DNA sequence: TTTTCGGTTCTCTTTTTACAGAACTAACAA
DNA sequence: TTGTTAGTTCTGTAAAAAGAGAACCGAAAA
């Protein structure tokens, strides 16, 4: 396949978005490519050609994406190539991981509170509020998905 | 003040946590310092000395943190120094920003869906589910904070 | 069994990041 | 008016990240 201008531009923007999340440039662009690719999957060679990067870079990026459980590959009978695709089925699990990750700060908030000597201070009480909220938030996550499921069924 | 071993170690861990979120090392450690600092605030000079870094690095990091609305400074009469502290009051706004940020992917999902030609495919329908969920999620955010408020009052 | 294909690994280069250090500046102080 | 304080800005640099390119490797094909 050949990428349209619109597709190329989308890939770049999706790439930058993921870069801001801490991923390396090529990783983000590969995710972009797999999203806009007409077949929703691509071979190793195709990725190299469509993104104009080296085999080594693609190899490393794909290894990373597979380790992070974001990409899988399938094979086809009589074809040695691997067909890489995003695990779109798993958006729920992935999103849940993201939510838990941002709530992870609770660990530090709690440790800080334990360590501080000014327990009664305004500072500590604010931090305690935050910690309480984070606990509440974590507990709310499952019900969030359930409520969504109920709404769309 | 002087930092205890436990405080130093906490600062490093908080620093690394923020690094993983894409912030530069010193920015994360300054946030850590302001969290564990006995006074919950620190002067420019103190930050330089306690973290053992250069003035320029601290200046840039503080400028960044203020631009991101994470840190403010106060002054005291007859004292030219600035006392930098975290905006702990704003944890709610900050957390909301984080949530909106991870939901930002919806923009791309929707653009991808618009661009794709295989509208009826399994791939597209999964992506549409995800987009619907993200919309639902964004709408749920205010009520999340309200429910928390109600619970703790 | 040799060649080809599909991908990996290693080494080297380029680019970017993060910071140091010194010069600089604005405000106040002596 | 000169000096001091508190911080900023500029320039250089060490280290790390990102990727190129070539050598390599294993499985399958010829």
Instruction: Assess whether B96 and B49 both reside in one domain.
Output: no
Answer yes or no: do B10 and A126 touch at CB < 8 A.
Answer: no
Answer yes or no: do A130 and B88 touch at CB < 8 A.
Answer: yes
Instruction: Assess whether A29 and A95 both reside in one domain.
Output: no
A118 contacts on B by Cβ (under 8 Å): 38, 40
What pLDDT, in 10s, does the model give residues A39-61?
999 999 999 999 999 999 999 99
Handedness of CA A95, A96, A97, A102 (dihedral sign): positive
Answer yes or no: do B152 and A132 touch at CB < 8 A.
Answer: yes
Instruction: Assess whether B21 and B82 both reside in one domain.
Output: yes
Q: Tell me the C-alpha distance between B150 and B140, whole Å.
A: 15
Contact A35, A56 (CB under 8 A): no
pLDDT band at B5 (very low <50, low <70, confident <90, very high): very high
Q: Which domain holds residue A36?
A: 5-86
What are the backbone dihedrals phi and psi of residue A116, each rounded to the nearest 5 degrees, phi first?
-70, 150
Question: How many Cβ atoms sit within 10 Å of the Cβ of residue B116?
Answer: 18
Nearest-10 Cα torsion for A66, A69, A70, A71:
40
Tell me which residue in A21, A36, A112 faces B35 most closely, judged by beta carbons: A112
Best residue in A123, A124, A138 for a mutation probing chain B (most B CBs within 10 Å): A123
> What residue is closest to D22 (Cα–C1')?
A56
Q: Give the per-residue pLDDT at A1.
A: 93
A99 contacts on B by Cβ (under 8 Å): 102
Answer yes or no: do B21 and A22 touch at CB < 8 A.
Answer: yes
Instruction: Specify the number of domains making up chain A.
Output: 2
Closest nucleotide to the alpha carbon of B15, via C1': C18
Q: Tell me the C-alpha distance between A65 and A30, whole Å.
A: 9
Distance from CA of A74 to the nearest CA of B (A): 15
Closest nucleotide to the alpha carbon of B57, via C1': C19
Instruction: Assess whether A146 and A100 both reside in one domain.
Output: yes
Contact A145, A92 (CB under 8 A): yes
Please enumerate in sequence order all residues whose Cβ is within 8 A of that of A143, keeping only pairs 6 or more positions apart, or say none.
Answer: none
Instruction: Assess whether A81 and A96 both reside in one domain.
Output: no
* Spatial CA neighbour of B107 closest among A71, A32, A100: A32
Question: What CATH number corresponds to the domain at position A70?
Answer: 1.10.10.10
* Spatial CA neighbour of B141 closest among B86, B104, B113, B89: B104
Strand C neighbors by CB, 7 A: A 43-45, 55-56, 58-60, 62-63, 73, 79-82; B 24-27, 52-57, 60-61, 80
Q: Is residue B36's pLDDT more than 90? A: yes
Strands B42-43 and A71-76: unpaired
What pLDDT, in 10s, does the model give residues B44-66?
999 999 999 999 999 999 999 99
Best residue in B31, B109, B126, B152 for a mutation probing chain A (most A CBs within 10 Å): B126
Instruction: Assess whether A52 and A97 both reside in one domain.
Output: no
Task: Pick the last residue of a domain from A54, A86, A118.
Answer: A86
What pLDDT, in 10s, does the model give residues A66-85?
999 999 999 999 999 999 99
Instruction: Assess whether B70 and B103 both reside in one domain.
Output: no
Instruction: Assess whether A32 and A80 both reside in one domain.
Output: yes
Instruction: Assess whether A30 and A96 both reside in one domain.
Output: no
Task: Pick the last residue of a domain from A64, A86, A108.
Answer: A86
Instruction: Assess whether A56 and A101 both reside in one domain.
Output: no
Strand D reaches within 7 A of the B132 CB: no
Tell me which residue in A22, A118, A136 faces B151 most closely, judged by beta carbons: A136
Instruction: Assess whether A16 and A36 both reside in one domain.
Output: yes
3-state SS of chain A is CCCCHHHHHHHHHHHHHHHHCCCCHHHHHHHHHHHHCCCCCEEHHHHHHHHCCCHHHHHHHHHHHHHCCCEEEEEECCEEEEEEEECHHHHHHHHHHHHHHHHCHHHHHHHHHHHCCCCCCHHHHHHHHHHHHHHHHHHHHHHHHHHHHHHCC
Task: Pick the last residue of a domain from A41, A66, A86.
Answer: A86
* Spatial CA neighbour of A95 closest among B149, B132, B121, B91: B132
Low-confidence ranges of chain A (pLDDT < 50): none
pLDDT band at B152 (very low <50, low <70, confident <90, very high): confident
Contact A133, B91 (CB under 8 A): yes
Please enumerate in sequence order all residues whose Cβ is within 8 A of that of A50, keeping only pairs 6 or more positions apart, or say none.
Answer: A1, A3, A33, A42
Instruction: Assess whether B79 and B22 both reside in one domain.
Output: yes
Contact A55, A48 (CB under 8 A): yes
């Amino acid at each position: 396949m050949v990428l349209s201008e619109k597709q190329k531009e989308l890939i770049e923007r999706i790439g930058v978005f993921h870069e801001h999340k801490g991923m390396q440039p090529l990783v983000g662009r590969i995710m972009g490519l797999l999203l806009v690719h007409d077949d929703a999957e691509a071979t190793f060679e195709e990725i190299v050609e469509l993104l104009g990067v080296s085999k080594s870079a693609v190899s490393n990026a794909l290894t990373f994406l597979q380790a992070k459980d974001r990409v899988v590959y399938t094979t086809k009978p009589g074809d040695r190539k691997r067909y890489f695709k995003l695990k779109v089925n798993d958006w729920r699990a992935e999103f849940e991981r993201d939510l838990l990750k941002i709530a992870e700060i609770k660990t530090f908030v709690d440790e800080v509170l334990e360590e501080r000597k000014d327990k009664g201070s305004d500072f500590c009480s604010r931090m305690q509020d935050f910690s309480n909220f984070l606990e509440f938030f974590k507990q709310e996550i499952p019900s969030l998905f359930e409520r969504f499921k109920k709404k769309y069924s």
